[in-house]
Amino acid sequence: MSFATLGLSPQICQTLSDLGFKTPTDIQQQAIPQILEGKDVLASAQTGTGKTAAFGLPIIQQLLDSPDLDGNNDIAEPEDLPQKKTRGAAVKALILTPTRELAQQVYDNLESYNQGLKIVVVYGGTSMSVQTKNLNAGADIVVATPGRLLDHLFVGNLHLQQTQTLVLDEADRMMDMGFMPDLQRILRRMNQEKQTLFFSATFTKRIREVAHKLLNDPVEIQIASENSTAETVEQIVYPVNKSRKRELLSYLIGSRNWQQVLVFTKTKQTSDVLAKELKLDGIEAASINGDKSQGARQKALDDFKSGRIRALIATDVAARGLDIQQLPHVVNYELPFQAEDYVHRIGRTGRAGEKGQAISLMCAQEQYLLDAIETLLDTRLPQQWLPGYEPTFEEEETQTKRHSRSSEKRKLKAKLKIHSSRGKRR
């Protein structure tokens, strides 16, 4: 099957050919014709299978076929916006993403397929004035994070009354990150007669319930089994004492001559500390997390892609926003609290049919997290002890007892505080 058979114009097909895309992926084959027919779509597919093109290409085609691409006209604002007329950009298609990195990734991909449309990306952590200037020049497609989109709506830089298509990219992550109130505020400002598309790597029961409330008789597309991982990714778990995780990570990078490895941690603090310790081991590394400015995050990502640094240490805020071609290695330095995040983390490797390796460093205290992941995937992940890094159960028992004593002390302090406050009330 070719892209031309999906209903895309010869110009778009030629652009895809120039980019090296020969045949559409499964998600593209199933989603593009449905979107071109104007249907609402609820789609789930593994990361790295071409979801952005699956919704981006038909949106571009629809706008090219539209008789009116004028992005500026006078409109009256809804009740919850300032009661005045404004000349904001009349957005034809809106794509919402949960993170800045994902917004930038989607924008870059759309620009590579673009056929003269005006595409603008807006997200927090960067200049409002630059984004305002871009919007004032007109915007057929806007890629945005919810918070920054609302900022531009309130000052009248754009409006959504003529929006024909709404895309929620990584919708489950939006729910997890608490974006539902912002999403509801955005929906109140939109044309009700619109096409709505839900795209994600996984779909929970809650997401399905929300989707079916917002979508009109949607076509449901599920390429792989829910919460599955790509067959091209080799997964392995290395049990190791918590105190030796950093040492083992440095050993793996050095002894196996890894030139590019993405490492995931659970907290911002751990990502910063780990990057510094790897540098002390002679491994060029940088961290990327929510505390970093957008400029610092983009520089770290650019340095990683160009090979100036070998290890990029990231929190889950970046798990879905990193699109790195042929990334060979992903390491879970710490297993995630939510089992679904494991799927998204390791989905950064093994993309577009390429082979990848996902390694998890697991201490004894994380066994319950591994159990949750294996239950989600309905499979057992292979474990292997590395010579010289075998876990010593004496240390794990000591850490467990120390954790138990700390927990008991916290409970005792809480009881004493309650008792003291009661005494004062008397």
What are 161-209's pLDDT values in tens digits? 999 999 999 887 787 778 889 999 999 999 888 999 998 776 677 778 8
Instruction: Retrieve residue 29's tokens.
Output: 């084959």
Q: Quickly tell me which residue has 């890094």 as its tokens.
A: 389
Calculate ∠ Cα 214-218-221, nearest 5°. Answer: 120
For residues 18 and 2, give the distance between their C-alpha atoms in angstroms, rounded to a whole number.
14
Q: Do you know the residue count of the chain? A: 426
pTM > 0.95: no
User: What single DSSP character describes residue 366?
Assistant: G
| Cα dist from 153 to 88, 147, 158, whole Å | 9, 10, 6
| Average pLDDT estimate for 217-230 | 73
Sequence-distant (6+) residues with CB within 8 A of 18 are none
364-413 pLDDT tens trace: 999 999 999 999 888 999 999 999 999 987 655 555 555 555 556 565 66
Q: Which amino acid is at 190?
A: M
CA distances from 355 to 12, 117, 326, 332, 352 (A): 29, 35, 8, 17, 9
Radius of gyration for the alpha carbons in the chain, expressed in angstroms and rounded:
24
Q: In terms of Cα–Cα distance, which of 4, 26, 16 is closest to 353?
A: 26
Mind listing the pLDDT tens digit for each residue in 80-107? 444 444 457 899 999 999 888 889 989 9
For residue range 285-327, list pLDDT tens digits in order. 999 887 888 788 889 888 998 899 999 999 887 555 666 767 8
The tens digit of pLDDT for each residue in 5-48 reads 999 999 999 999 999 898 999 999 999 999 999 999 999 876 66
Structural tokens at position 201: 């790597």
Distance CA 28, CA 6 (A): 9
Those residues whose C-beta lies under 8 Å from the C-beta of residue 385, and which sit 6 or more positions away, are 238, 239, 391
